[in-house]
A and B are shown apart, each in its own frame.
Chain A
């Protein structure tokens, strides 16, 4: 499971946790999230998310 950083606001999408409030089940991979999903913190699109590789 990976984690992605929204580089607009710093929100972290953790694949283990998903985004249940928006119907994204825990365990959902970033590439399987619909393209119209936006960052729950700041509204940035999926393109703003960067894989965290430094952890």
Chain B
């Protein structure tokens, strides 16, 4: 018994059949049983609205059709009869539901060992980022930014948990994982550089690092999720994401100078070969240079369908040898020390 199910209604235990050829998705097979929430998120990340579910091969029953109204309920107490189809769809997430309670708990729990704390903070930060990128409204952007401020605080004051966070970063290809990874990695470098200085607003800096790729929500998901290298036309469309991120933050009234610099400059390279403004050298703010290094490092160590994940060592070697003019050299040397 097969039935189309909206991606929002997918549950663990459902046997899905993706309407994509094997080369278009990143799963081992096109038909399989969902075994984790991460897999559901992965299906959603392909930008599909609904997928076919074979309930004969699933562990869960099909979602029940809307119950017909009982006779009493036909007697309306109001003159205005609203067809449910005409009502606006409920928002996916709002500031009350966006931030997982477990994230706040993990950040403030004094009893958790650093390793467990890092695991919980990492998992729930990604969950929040996934929700926010799914529903990037002004109020959701502000709510996530506030929560990211508390994660930033944790990384700054708890060295052990911070080291563990750096160690456990996952290497899939989702924007939400990448966002959290780059947030953690950039912040570790900023912490090493600025620990004896009070001239930096570390909270804003941290939030900016986590939100550096926000503008990707304005790029066609087919380009974001393309399981192959982008061609020139697709790259052009991708290159608008720094400015779009700046615009989203500005319009959400969540833009500070730190965030503006990071979001706009994280793809600018020291030799002027980056984008969007093609500025170079000292024209790129140190915050932008930090995020650029972390961004490339995480992209190299992430797995893609068209390339294997590199080890941190190999990624650092490649960045040093094959991209000598992309990064701020002294900054890069400090970055390497983070992994010693």
What is A's interface to B at a CB cutoff of 8 Å?
A: 5-10, 42, 44, 48, 50, 53-54
Q: Determine if B138 is an interface residue (Cβ-Cβ < 8 Å).
A: no
* Residues B240 and A54 in contact, CB atoms below 8 Å apart: no
Cβ contacts under 8 Å, A9 to chain B: 240, 243-244, 247, 276
**Contact flags B30-61 to A (C-beta < 8 A → 1, else 0):** 00000000000000000000000000000000
* Residues A7 and B240 in contact, CB atoms below 8 Å apart: yes
Q: Determine if B196 is an interface residue (Cβ-Cβ < 8 Å).
A: no
> Complex Cα distance A5/B239, Å?
11
> Complex Cα distance A10/B241, Å?
9
> Complex Cα distance A42/B244, Å?
10
> Complex Cα distance A37/B162, Å?
48
The closest CB in chain A to the CB of B236 belongs to A7
> Complex Cα distance A29/B146, Å?
46
Task: Give the shortest distance, in Å, between B311 (CB) and chain A (any CB).
Answer: 34
A-B contact sample (16 more), CB < 8 A, given A7-B275, A9-B247, A48-B276: A5-B236, A5-B237, A8-B239, A8-B240, A8-B243, A8-B276, A9-B243, A9-B244, A9-B276, A10-B240, A10-B244, A42-B243, A44-B276, A50-B236, A53-B233, A54-B233
> Complex Cα distance A5/B29, Å?
38
Q: Determine if B108 is an interface residue (Cβ-Cβ < 8 Å).
A: no
Task: Give the shortest distance, in Å, between A53 (CB) and chain B (any CB).
Answer: 8
Q: Determine if B277 is an interface residue (Cβ-Cβ < 8 Å).
A: yes
* Residues A7 and B276 in contact, CB atoms below 8 Å apart: yes
* Residues A8 and B277 in contact, CB atoms below 8 Å apart: yes
> Complex Cα distance A54/B276, Å?
21
Q: Determine if B218 is an interface residue (Cβ-Cβ < 8 Å).
A: yes
The closest CB in chain A to the CB of B264 belongs to A8
Cβ contacts under 8 Å, B243 to chain A: 8-10, 42
> Complex Cα distance A3/B218, Å?
20
> Complex Cα distance A50/B275, Å?
14
The residues in B between 234 and 265 inclusive whose CB is less than 8 angstroms from any CB of A are: 236-237, 239-240, 243-244, 247
Cβ contacts under 8 Å, A5 to chain B: 236-237
> Complex Cα distance A53/B275, Å?
21
The residues in B between 131 and 147 inclusive whose CB is less than 8 angstroms from any CB of A are: none
Cβ contacts under 8 Å, A7 to chain B: 236, 239-240, 275-276
> Complex Cα distance A5/B275, Å?
15
> Complex Cα distance A1/B187, Å?
48
Task: Give the shortest distance, in Å, between A55 (CB) and chain B (any CB).
Answer: 10
> Complex Cα distance A44/B264, Å?
13
> Complex Cα distance A48/B244, Å?
16
Task: Give the shortest distance, in Å, between A17 (CB) and chain B (any CB).
Answer: 19
The closest CB in chain B to the CB of A53 belongs to B233
Task: Give the shortest distance, in Å, between B254 (CB) and chain A (any CB).
Answer: 19
The closest CB in chain B to the CB of A9 belongs to B243
Which of A6, A10, A48, A50 interacts with B218 by CB under 8 Å? A10
Q: List 20 A-B contacts (CB under 8 A).
A: A5-B236, A5-B237, A6-B240, A7-B239, A7-B275, A8-B239, A8-B243, A8-B275, A8-B276, A8-B277, A9-B244, A9-B247, A9-B276, A10-B218, A10-B237, A10-B240, A10-B243, A10-B244, A44-B276, A50-B236
The closest CB in chain B to the CB of A6 belongs to B240
> Complex Cα distance A8/B276, Å?
5
Cβ contacts under 8 Å, B233 to chain A: 53-54
Cβ contacts under 8 Å, B240 to chain A: 6-10
> Complex Cα distance A10/B243, Å?
8
The closest CB in chain B to the CB of A39 belongs to B243
